Amino acid sequence: MQNAKDTFYEVLRSRLVALNPERTIVLRGVVRPGVLVEENELLSAVALPDCFRMRWEVSSVNAEGIMPLVMLQCAIDYETAGTSMNTGMDRGRALAAMDAELQAAVNALPRTTLKMNYAGLANGAATVAMTTSVWWSEVAFGKTVIKDDRLARTATVDVMSFQEAGEL
């Protein structure tokens, strides 16, 4: 499952960067693209505004076929207070812009890619292409939520992949 999660994250991040390279965050003193995976970050990163925060919620494995089919649900939380230049009065437009970016990134074709193993990156090794693919549904948007001075939304994407031998 981890390889499917990592692969989807890498695809989504690269697509979001291509759509809006200006959407960045500063995390632990490093400027990064404005998308992160909550399970990989310290708790302080969870409430960052103007950033797409991915978390994995539901998973199931159907072992009835030749290879087990893994189904994951990726919840993507994001929120904005708008811009200081407009004293936050543009937060609806800012949220709509984030909606449009996410929709364009997730729904762009193809909605499939070759699964990659990123485990070696920590030791300086290259990524390794696997033999199966990862594919995903269109994005589904939840309702707008008011959180103090911010507008927030959670969108979900179903991510699927076949689990290869030896994969965790």
Range of the domain at 56: 2-162
Given a cut of 80, whether residue 87 has pLDDT beyond it is no
Sign of CA dihedral 96, 58, 110, 127: positive
DSSP strands (E only) in 7-149: 24-27, 30-33, 35-37, 52-62, 69-80, 112-117, 128-136, 140-141, 145-147
Share above pLDDT 90 across residues of the chain, in percent, rounded to a whole number: 73
Q: 12-32 pLDDT, tens per residue?
A: 999 999 999 999 999 888 999
Query: Rounded to an integer, what distance in angstroms lies between the CA atom of residue 55 and that of residue 75?
Result: 5
Residue 167: inside a domain: no
Query: Rounded to an integer, what distance in angstroms lies between the CA atom of residue 24 and that of residue 8?
Result: 19
Angle 108-80-57 from CA coordinates, rounded to 5°: 60
Residue 30: inside a domain: yes
What's the pLDDT score for residue 45? 59
Q: Domain of 68: which CATH number?
A: 3.30.2000.30
Residue 12: inside a domain: yes
In the chain, how many domains are there? 1
Residue 74: inside a domain: yes
Read off the DSSP letter of residue 163.
P
Q: 152-161 pLDDT, tens per residue?
A: 999 999 999 9
Q: Residue 139: which of 40, 2, 15 has the closest Cα?
A: 15
pTM > 0.75: yes
Given a cut of 80, whether residue 47 has pLDDT beyond it is no
Residue 168: inside a domain: no
Query: Rounded to an integer, what distance in angstroms lies between the CA atom of residue 155 and that of residue 153?
Result: 7
